[in-house]
Amino acid sequence: MENNLKNLEEDSLDKELDKIRKRRLNADKTFLVNTIIPRKSDDYTLIFGVVCGAIFFGGIFITSSGLITPDSIMVDNRISGTFLDSEDCTDRRYEVYFDIFAIDENIRIKSHHVNEELTSIMIVNFSSKDDINNTLQYVFGGIGDLENTFDSEDINDGHYEIIVNIYIYDEEVNLSHLSKDILLKYIENGTYIDNISKDVELHMESRVTNEIPILKIISFGNWGNSELQKIPEISDEEPRACMSIQELGIWGWALMGLEWAGGRETAMLTGGSAGVPPWWLASVSLGMSIFFLCVQYPLMHRLYHREVDDLLSTKQMKRMLQKVLQKSSNELRIDFDLNNFKIQDRSLSVDALVHYKTTSMTIASPMEVKTRMITDILEEFAIFGEMRPIQLKSLCTDTKDSKVSNIIINSQLIYDDFGQIPLSEDYSEFFGSISKFGKLEEEFRGVMKKWFRQNHLVDYGSAIMSDEDSVFVRVIYQPAQRFAYFSFKSNYNELQNNLESNLKNKLKDHMGNRTLIVSARNEKSTLADYANPGRVEQGTDELTGEAMVAKRGGIPGALLQNPFMGDILSSVEYVALKNRKRIDKYGFWGLIVFVWIPFMASGVLVGAMLGLVARMRFERVLAACLLGGSAASITWAYSAKGIIEFMEKYHAEAFIPFLIFLVFAFTIIHLRNNKRRRREELFRDSMAFFSGSYSTIGKQ
């Protein structure tokens, strides 16, 4: 009764699996695989992403290369002063101007665009508004642009007006070694060709470090030493210099590199501190988000998405693996132990424990048995669209008493232990069998020599053994040509089938009715031998294991299953799985917020993967990620300058590089931690499953 119920359940599962299999094998034509005509939303999204990428990257390349009006400031000049950039900029490409700013608690003054071949003298006056008689004057000279830093300790607290003048002379005389008095006389007696001036407001105040908000945060409240510091605050009403088209293009590449390496936050803070206009910060970030989302998300969708009816339950997964392993066992001529077969079906991987026994016709090694099983499972996974890695442990349970042939391999011959030969007065049949086997071996050597030469192989151990029922052939080969790792395309399965067909044709008169069993192995694995899995993940010394993902064809497989992208996608998938409960709870709006919030690894790609894991509709995921990514880019672009100004207000601009480095470092650490945690979880839970299963089997 129990067996009948079990058979009925298996029959039901087989029918369900056959339906899914037929649906998957007879799916509609796929864009850029079986047809060049877009058919679905993801097809049109992919085309849109490619077009946007061509326009975006092409535009950045053209502007940065200086092919079109490199010195033009028309774009920045037109946008500045609008709602996209409230701060006006001015054209200073052909005029001498000054930068006056605070840095490292001091004041720096720098001139721009002075001819490098002309003599120049700069006069800087700090005129106190509180005491008209309190004025500090600095005079220094040189050639071309001049720059000097003034120590805040030399300036008393109070309000000042900084007045800067630069005198330019039509000569090339370096006056940097002259004293202040001599330089002033040089100005009085000489004839300068140009005089440019500028004035700004300065507020100098002495403060205790723990009273400065930004320093208080960094020093963890009131802990640490309190020091009296001079804090200069400069008020400059003069608009910034407009950036040329080429400067914007160069900054475009820099911002893309910073965002790719350290995240959106790193790019925005760096660009904001360098005076890049916020509309350009937002444009570059948006361009990257749209391109990567609209190209990678459709590819990810094709690789990972399955209809609800195509998802395998744990029972269906176990039954599918049973059928595949039974087929593999028949081809390997081993006995698959169905009763002790166990699986662990989890979000990160599928783990399978297989027990088997060898038979008198088994010539495959344990490693070849495992390889064949995994290869067949991955082929089935590819059909069913299963993208989780498979981890398989195969255990040969032969005992000393089992009646299994002990096959001994050397470079010449495989011998079989046939047991004790009975005594007989007539030895003609015995010696006749030896003679027949000798002829078979001799013919085999001739055929194999020619086969190795035709296939450009080197013989690393070919052997033959025969009994009354079977002829066993074992071949170990290695490619003969140079650079075989890249150029040798035949895998062991193709060569094994070719050899079997060749031997059947050439040795059929010598084999008679005996069964031919052929095994071929590559001594030096080639690229083709590793081509079966789409991706392989290796464990470590502490967390041993080997997880393999099914190989998928077409453009998605080629682009997303290479080692670099596969590593990124596996980490993205892990983060998405960890955050799935939030999206299941809050849905579309929760996904927008997840992509928007400035947390590490919460960008558009992670959001897209999260939508896939949560099984949201393609269009809803695309819309949520576009809205969230756009909001994040705009928010950071227009808040970065505010962050910089806040830090400058409290004279913490020296910490801006430190803050940028901190964001970058945290991003890298976060990504590495995600990768490490995923790997630990992937292999640790599998090891626990295999260990527990072994213990259970041992007690039975």
Residue type, 625: C
pLDDT at residue 428 in the model: 45
pLDDT for 345-379, tens place per residue?
Answer: 888 889 999 999 988 788 777 877 888 888 888 88
Q: Which sign does the torsion angle of CA 654, 656, 657, 663 carry?
A: positive
Close Cβ partners of 564 (under 8 Å, ≥ 6 residues apart): none
pLDDT at residue 600 in the model: 46
SS3 397: coil
Report yes or no on 655 lying in a domain: no
pLDDT at residue 24 in the model: 79
Q: Which of 241, 265, 291 is the last residue of a domain?
A: 241
CATH of the domain at 228: 3.90.280
Q: What ranges make up the beta strands (E) of 220-365? A: 228-235, 240-241, 334-336, 342-345, 350-358
The pTM assigned to this predicted structure is 0.55
Report yes or no on 103 lying in a domain: yes
249 with 71: CB under 8 angstroms?
no
The structure tokens 């009764």 sit at 1
DSSP H helix total and E strand total for the chain: 18, 21
Q: Which of 212, 241, 270 is the last residue of a domain?
A: 241
pLDDT at residue 162 in the model: 94
Question: Could you give the CA distance from residue 462 to residue 441 in angstroms, rounded to a whole number?
Answer: 11
Report yes or no on 219 lying in a domain: yes
Looking at the DSSP bridge assignments, the partners of residue 120 are 142, 168
CATH of the domain at 518: 3.30.300
pLDDT at residue 11 in the model: 83
Q: Which of 191, 214, 241 is the last residue of a domain?
A: 241
| Closest residue by Cα to residue 59 from 293, 295, 287 | 287
Q: Which sign does the torsion angle of CA 550, 555, 560, 565 carry?
A: positive
Q: Which domain holds residue 418?
A: 408-479+490-525
| Closest residue by Cα to residue 561 from 367, 373, 381, 346 | 381
Q: Taking the chain (700 residues) in consecutive chunks of 10 residues, what is each chunk's mean pLDDT?
A: 72 86 73 67 87 93 88 89 84 86 80 92 93 88 93 89 94 90 89 92 77 43 56 80 89 87 74 81 90 86 75 89 90 88 88 89 79 86 85 79 38 36 44 54 78 80 71 76 50 75 80 78 51 67 76 64 65 71 77 73 73 80 89 82 61 56 65 75 83 52
- The Cβ-side half-sphere exposure at 245, using a 13 Å CA radius, reads 16
Task: Quote the number of domains for the chain.
Answer: 2
Indicate the DSSP class of residue 211: G
Report yes or no on 656 lying in a domain: no
Q: Which sign does the torsion angle of CA 273, 276, 282, 283 carry?
A: negative
Report yes or no on 433 lying in a domain: yes
| Closest residue by Cα to residue 353 from 691, 690, 692 | 690
Q: List the structure tokens of 192.
A: 């300068």
Report yes or no on 623 lying in a domain: no
- The Cβ-side half-sphere exposure at 183, using a 13 Å CA radius, reads 23
